[in-house]
Amino acid sequence: MDYKLILQTIKNEVAALENTGNVATYIPELAKIDPSKFGMHLNCISSGEFNFGDCNERFSIQSISKVFSLTLAMTLMGDELFERVDVEPSGDPFNSLVQLEYEQGIPRNPFINAGALVISDILISKLENPKKEFIEFVRKLSGNPSIDINESVFNSELSNSFRNAALVNLMKSFGNIENAIEDILDFYIYQCSVSMSCAELSKAFEIYANSGASFNSEEQIITSRKTKRVNAIMQTCGFYDEAGEFSFRVGLPGKSGVGGGIVAVHPGQYTVTVWSPPLNPKGNSELGMYALERLTTLTGLSIF
C-alpha cells in the first residue's frame, strides 16, 4: 500500500475544497484558532508513519479525551461501570438535557457530555489525584511526558460551563452522581483542555488498533476484551448524533472533538488523526470527515 501517495492525493484534494464549516465559538478560546489549519498523521502497525500539514501542532483535543477517561475507568472497574452509563447511540446533541431527563439520569453513552461527566465522577472516586493520574495516563499512551493542558482553554471553558453544570445537577437529582458538582466540572474540563498534536494522538490511540498494547511494546495497557468494547462504543457513539454518517462514509471506529480533531483506528492496521478546526452543523470537523472518507476509499480498507 503506497500510503505516501495516498496522503499526497488527499492533501491535494483537501487544498482544492471550499471549507464551509465554522470554528467552535461556545468556548471563546477556541474561536481564536486559525480556521485554515489542517494536519493529518497516519501511524501504521507495519508500514511506518506518514503525514502532512500541521500534524505536529498541538490543539485542544476536547471530547477525544473521553476515550482516554473511559479507558482509564475501565482499567479500574468491571462491567458494573455500565450500570451508571449506557452504551447506546444518543441520536441527540452531545449536551442534550431532554434525553437525560427522560431516561432518569442514566446517560446514553460515555461520549456525550453527560456520560463523560459520570465517568469523571467515577475517576474522582477511584483515584487519589485524578488530574495528575489522568494526565500521566495520557502521557504514557503517547510516550510524551511534555503533554499538558492549555490553561487558557481550561479557564475559558470553565467560565462557560453552565450547561454541563445543569447536566451534573440533573444527574445528581437522580442519584447518579457521588461527588461535589464543582469537583466534577473542574476535572471534566481539565481533561477536555489537554492539548495534543495529530502525531501524538495517533501514537496514543495505538492500543485501540493493537488489542490493548502499543505497536512497539509488549505492555498490555487494557485487555483485548475491553479494547473491543471501547472500539465498539467509538463506532456507534463517537460522533455525537452523526455516528451513523461517519460509519457510512468512513467505516472506522473513531472519536471527534470540537477543537477540530478526529482520531480513527483500523484494528490490526493503523491509527489516523486529522485536524481541521471548522466544524459541520453536527460539531465534527468538516474537512476531517472528508479526508478520512477518502483514506478508506483510496486504501480500500475499512472494518466493513
Domain boundaries, the chain: 3-61+196-299, 63-192
Residue pointed to by grid coordinates 471534566? 188
Rounded CA-CA distance 65/287 in Å is 21
Largest CA distance in the chain: 55
Q: What mean pLDDT comes out for the span 155-181?
A: 93
Q: What mean pLDDT comes out for the span 18-23?
A: 90
Rounded CA-CA distance 110/82 in Å is 9
User: Which amino acids are annotated catalytic?
Assistant: 63, 66, 188, 240, 258
Q: What is the pLDDT of residue 95?
A: 59
Query: Which amino acid, residue 21?
Result: G
- Kindly tell me if the per-residue pLDDT of 91 is higher than 70: no
DSSP for residue 128: S
| pLDDT tens profile 1-11 | 899 999 999 99
Q: What is the mean pLDDT of the chain?
A: 93
Q: What is the pLDDT of residue 240?
A: 81
- Kindly tell me if the per-residue pLDDT of 277 is higher than 90: yes
Question: Same CATH topology for 3-61+196-299 and 63-192?
Answer: yes
pLDDT class for 94, splitting at 50, 70, 90? low
Name the architecture of domain 3-61+196-299. Answer: 3-Layer(aba) Sandwich (3.40)
The dotted CATH code for 63-192 is 3.40.710.10
| pLDDT tens profile 130-165 | 999 999 999 999 999 999 999 999 999 999 889 999
- Kindly tell me if the per-residue pLDDT of 92 is higher than 70: no
